[in-house]
Amino acid sequence: MKRRPWPFRSNGSRLSALPSPNINGGKEDERARRQRSTKFTTLTPSWISPSRQIQSRSIPSSSASKDGGDFTALPYDVLTKIAASFGVGDLRTASLVCKPWCDALRPLREAMMLLRWGKRFKHGRGGVRPNLDKALDSFLKGAARGSTLAMVDAGLVYWESGNKDKAMALYHKASALGDPAGKFNLGVAYLQAEPANAKEAVRWFHESAMAGYVRAQYQLALCLHQGRGLERNDMQEAAKWYLKAAEGGYVRAMYNVSLCYSFGEGLRQCHRLARKWMKRAADRGHAKAQFEHGLALFSEGDLFKAVVYLELATRAGETAADHVKNVILQRLSEKSRDRVLVLADNWQALPSGS
């Protein structure tokens, strides 16, 4: 059986990009928020001004201080700006450095408590009923204490309720303090504006991507792939960012990396690596990848494994997988068919970061 080809695009590329994601506060976004490190260096494209390069933020070490380790000499306003995007764990660690730091970071620790309550009210967790007004109030109080995490969540509530001007103001404030999620959401806001400002969106995606935010890396790759905000598309640079996001655990990027390797679009053609990334995406719940990987196994004669992946793809909404699955099931024994259903029923997606 022939595998379904990657759809051709009007500009000659065989790559089919996924649609731009909406701003949201989903689980994958939470995972992406915690990822700050980069695994390899990417050359800065010519379309990004050197003045836009992001600088890494870290707690100053004793060796960086002029007097050989007087942490108390760091101005409070500088410390709070550095720590504005810290989560609970980082704030707890920084607060243990010395008493002045502990005192200076108290508002941010209070913001973490308000952020926690805001999420409870927004999602109806922890024994409380969903209440968007109380959630927004908690987020805004946390934002007033200097937390960029609270600024971004307050911006999400405003954005989802249609108050986009207030949302963008909070995203700008969080971005000015170096928050990668704020920069990413600002980029999406510019991309979804009427009229869209794709050039400005790409600039913010790049800043967030350089800070290691995998959703921004993926979205930047899409813009480079499609030529949005640029004079022309840049498939080689797009493939680099797809790969970077994939290595950071972003499942959609894993699927696109597989296609890049499969067709030699932006990356050297390598069917082994294409198969590796397709399986990774499939094992993490990507429905199209499950379908494609199932077809590959079927073409190799591994009917049992093929039908398991096709069953998973069918359950995830890939209707095209259902016909192929039924053809294979007719070739299996009744015992094997029952075993397929048991495996599919008990299947769990691997964590994105694994």
Q: Where are the domains of the chain?
A: 74-178, 198-284, 286-348
3-state helix, strand, coil in the chain (%, to 5): 60, 0, 40
Residue 72: pLDDT band with limits 50, 70, 90: confident
Region of poorest pLDDT, from 3-12, 13-22, 192-201? 3-12
Looking at residue 70, its pLDDT comes to 65
Cα end-to-end distance, the chain, whole Å: 32
CA neighbours within 13 Å on the CB side: how many for 12? 4
List the one residue out of 76, 134, 84, 75 whose CA is nearest residue 109. 84
Kindly tell me if the per-residue pLDDT of 34 is higher than 70: no
- Using a cut of 0.85, tell me whether the model's pTM lies above it: no
H helix runs in 196-333, sequence order: 198-210, 214-226, 235-247, 251-263, 271-283, 287-299, 303-315, 319-329
- Dihedral over alpha carbons 271, 272, 274, 280 (to 10 degrees): 160
Kindly tell me if the per-residue pLDDT of 68 is higher than 80: no
Report d(CA 235, CA 335) in Å as an integer: 47
Contact of 267 with 286, CB cutoff 8 Å = no
What average pLDDT does the chain have?
85
Angle in degrees, CA 258, 262, 266, rounded to 5: 80
Report d(CA 120, CA 122) in Å as an integer: 6
Kindly tell me if the per-residue pLDDT of 2 is higher than 90: no
Mark residue 301 as left, alpha or beta (left: phi above 0; alpha: psi -120 to 50; beta: remaining).
left
Looking at residue 40, its pLDDT comes to 36
Contact of 45 with 237, CB cutoff 8 Å = yes
Mean pLDDT of 318-329: 94
Report d(CA 313, CA 347) in Å as an integer: 12
Kindly tell me if the per-residue pLDDT of 238 is higher than 70: yes
Kindly tell me if the per-residue pLDDT of 234 is higher than 90: yes
Angle in degrees, CA 152, 41, 178, rounded to 5: 20
Model confidence pLDDT, tens digit, residues 148-165: 999 999 999 999 999 999
Residue 354: pLDDT band with limits 50, 70, 90: low
Return the axis-axis angle of helices 164-176 and 148-160, rounded to nearest 10°.
Answer: 160
Looking at residue 231, its pLDDT comes to 83
Spatial CB neighbours of 265, under 8 Å, sequence gap ≥ 6: 13, 14, 15, 235, 239, 259
Contact of 118 with 110, CB cutoff 8 Å = no
Residue 55: pLDDT band with limits 50, 70, 90: very low
Q: If one looks up domain 74-178 in CATH, what number appears?
A: 1.25.40
The CATH architecture that domain 198-284 belongs to is Alpha Horseshoe (1.25)
List the one residue out of 249, 239, 171 whose CA is nearest residue 213. 249
Mean pLDDT of 247-266: 97
Region of poorest pLDDT, from 38-47, 62-71, 243-252? 38-47
Report d(CA 176, CA 182) in Å as an integer: 9
List the one residue out of 108, 104, 103 whose CA is nearest residue 84. 108
